[in-house]
């Protein structure tokens, strides 16, 4: 099966679930072509030969008028090679209400896509889906599945309600992570009957179980956070919680923050000002393999995210990665996080932006016997194993998308 995948950024350091999904498609014998509008924040090293080839063959699309000239050779070749296809697609798009093609950038993106029709299209991210809402007009026999990952990140222009509604309407089926993010999609104009709740999956072989996992090695509780160093991740509240712990006399912990971003210098200053240099470290961005090792070495993942604008944690994939590593989780009670966390670990959910509650959760876990920590770690792993297997979830996505295959669309 030929699958066209469109996403905003690829490869992406902070979205490893793309690699997991695409690589599984390839392992299952499908032909995958990825189209993106740019790469992620930092260079990513492919973890396998399949991904290396996928990175090398990713095609990029114009983002606006200023980027159109560098795509002109490809656009010209496609227009000359199949002019009737492009004209027919444009006519269908122009006749559609709301319009699928609005201005020169949209026309350039349409013309930059291949002439060969896929068996289906899968689009990740609302911005990317809005920019390629012509796909059903260009490939009238190929169903379009759209994976809604939630709202726009802080600093990214927010898509209007009308534009979001138009984007949902341009897809045959909409996937999203949780019931919470389903409600969010509905609030932005997506018909509820079009939505399938299907969380992001994981290659379980990448996370071998640890037979005799140790906790609180040498009497120290090891905490870790993984993510972009940006406002919505709430790491300033976790640092304030660490200050509370030290001020209250609890010093048997070490806290490592993994990731890079705009707040790195501000967080470093907060560590210094709070006297936390002996307790907290900023690791910066590290390779995927090192991230997984950091989770295996930690007793507890701390995810202090807060809602900002339209953005909130919809699934928080690092939570499932931590549970696969048999680590416990302290997380904000926000977005779809409670749904995505083992019931046994939900007592350690805390209100958004509540540093004192984070500190209290750390103390509660630190008081648990190691056997209790091990039981909680095993419960978390079982929760993920039964719900997040990428093989089953990919099959669900393909099946639900193909079930919408248009039988009555006629090209031309």
- Same domain, yes or no, for 92 and 189? yes
Domain membership flag for residue 412: no
Predicted confidence (pLDDT) at residue 125 exceeds the cutoff of 80: yes
- Same domain, yes or no, for 80 and 9? yes
- Same domain, yes or no, for 85 and 197? yes
- Across 241-245, average pLDDT: 98
Q: What is the pLDDT of residue 96?
A: 58
- Same domain, yes or no, for 224 and 302? yes
Q: What is the pLDDT of residue 335?
A: 95
- Same domain, yes or no, for 93 and 152? yes
CATH of the domain at 394: 3.40.50.11930
- Same domain, yes or no, for 119 and 221? no
Domain membership flag for residue 177: yes
Q: Which residues of 235-264 are buried (b: 16+ CB within 10 A; e: fewer)?
A: bbbbbbbbbbbbeeebeebbbbbbbbbebb
Q: What is the pLDDT of residue 408?
A: 38
CATH of the domain at 221: 3.40.50.2000
Q: What is the dihedral of CA 221, 227, 229, 234, to 10 degrees?
A: -70
Domain membership flag for residue 221: yes
- Same domain, yes or no, for 197 and 226? no
Model confidence at 153, pLDDT cuts 50, 70, 90, reads confident
Tens of pLDDT, residue by residue over 29-44, are 999 999 999 987 666 7
Domain membership flag for residue 411: no
Tens of pLDDT, residue by residue over 155-182, are 888 899 999 999 999 999 999 999 999 9
Q: How far apart are CA 274 and CA 277, in angstroms?
A: 8
Question: Which residues constitute the domain of residue 284?
Answer: 205-387
Q: What percent of the chain has pLDDT over 70?
A: 95
Domain membership flag for residue 185: yes
- Same domain, yes or no, for 134 and 239? no
Predicted confidence (pLDDT) at residue 105 exceeds the cutoff of 90: no
Q: How many domains does the chain have?
A: 2
Q: What are the angstrom distances between the C-alpha of 235 and each of 41, 232, 255, 332?
A: 19, 8, 11, 11
Tens of pLDDT, residue by residue over 288-331, are 899 999 999 999 999 999 999 889 999 999 999 999 999 999 99
Q: What are the angstrom distances between the C-alpha of 47 and each of 81, 144, 246, 394?
A: 36, 28, 39, 20
Domain membership flag for residue 360: yes
Predicted confidence (pLDDT) at residue 388 exceeds the cutoff of 60: yes
Q: What is the pLDDT of residue 155?
A: 80
Predicted confidence (pLDDT) at residue 410 exceeds the cutoff of 70: no
- Same domain, yes or no, for 323 and 397? no
Domain membership flag for residue 13: yes
- Same domain, yes or no, for 120 and 236? no
Cβ-based neighbour number of residue 367 at 10 Å:
8
- Same domain, yes or no, for 124 and 258? no
Domain membership flag for residue 352: yes
Model confidence at 407, pLDDT cuts 50, 70, 90, reads low
- Across 234-247, average pLDDT: 98
- Same domain, yes or no, for 182 and 216? no
């Amino acid at each position: 099966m030929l699958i066209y995948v469109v996403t905003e950024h690829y490869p992406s350091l902070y979205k490893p679930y793309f690699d997991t999904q695409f690589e599984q498609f390839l392992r299952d014998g499908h032909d995958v072509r990825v189209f993106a509008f740019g790469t992620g924040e930092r260079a990513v090293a492919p973890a396998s030969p399949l991904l290396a080839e996928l990175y090398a063959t990713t095609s990029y699309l114009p983002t606006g008028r200023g980027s159109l000239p560098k795509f002109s050779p490809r656009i010209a070749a496609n227009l000359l090679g199949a002019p009737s296809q492009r004209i027919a697609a444009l006519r269908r798009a122009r006749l559609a209400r709301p319009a699928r093609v609005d201005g020169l950038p949209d026309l350039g993106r349409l013309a930059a896509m291949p002439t060969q029709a896929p068996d289906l299209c899968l689009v990740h991210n609302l911005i990317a889906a809005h920019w390629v809402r012509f796909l059903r007009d260009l490939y009238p026999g190929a169903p379009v599945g759209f994976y809604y990952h939630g709202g726009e990140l802080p600093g990214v222009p927010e898509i209007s309600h009308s534009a979001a509604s138009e984007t949902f309407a341009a897809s045959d089926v909409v996937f999203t992570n949780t019931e919470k993010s389903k409600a969010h999609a509905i609030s932005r104009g997506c018909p509820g009957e079009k939505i399938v709740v299907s969380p992001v999956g994981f290659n379980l072989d990448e996370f071998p179980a640890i037979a005799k996992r140790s906790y609180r090695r040498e009497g120290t509780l090891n905490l870790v956070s993984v993510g972009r160093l940006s406002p919505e991740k709430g790491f300033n509240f976790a640092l304030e919680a660490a200050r509370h712990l030290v001020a209250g006399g609890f010093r048997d912990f070490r806290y490592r923050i993994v990731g890079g971003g705009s707040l790195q210098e501000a967080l470093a200053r907060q560590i210094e000002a709070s006297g936390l240099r002996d307790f907290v470290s900023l690791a910066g961005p590290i390779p995927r393999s090192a991230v997984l090792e950091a989770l295996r070495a930690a007793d507890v993942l701390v995810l202090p995210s807060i809602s900002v604008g339209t953005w909130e944690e919809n699934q928080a994939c690092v939570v499932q990665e931590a549970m696969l590593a048999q680590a416990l989780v302290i997380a904000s009670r926000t977005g779809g996080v409670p749904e995505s966390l083992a019931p046994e670990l939900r007592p350690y959910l805390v209100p958004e932006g509540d540093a004192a509650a984070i500190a209290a959760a750390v103390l509660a876990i630190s008081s648990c016997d190691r056997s209790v920590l091990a039981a909680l770690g095993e419960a978390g792993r079982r929760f993920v194993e039964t719900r997040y297997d990428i093989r089953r979830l990919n099959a669900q996505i393909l099946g639900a998308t193909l079930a919408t295959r248009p039988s009555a669309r006629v090209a031309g």
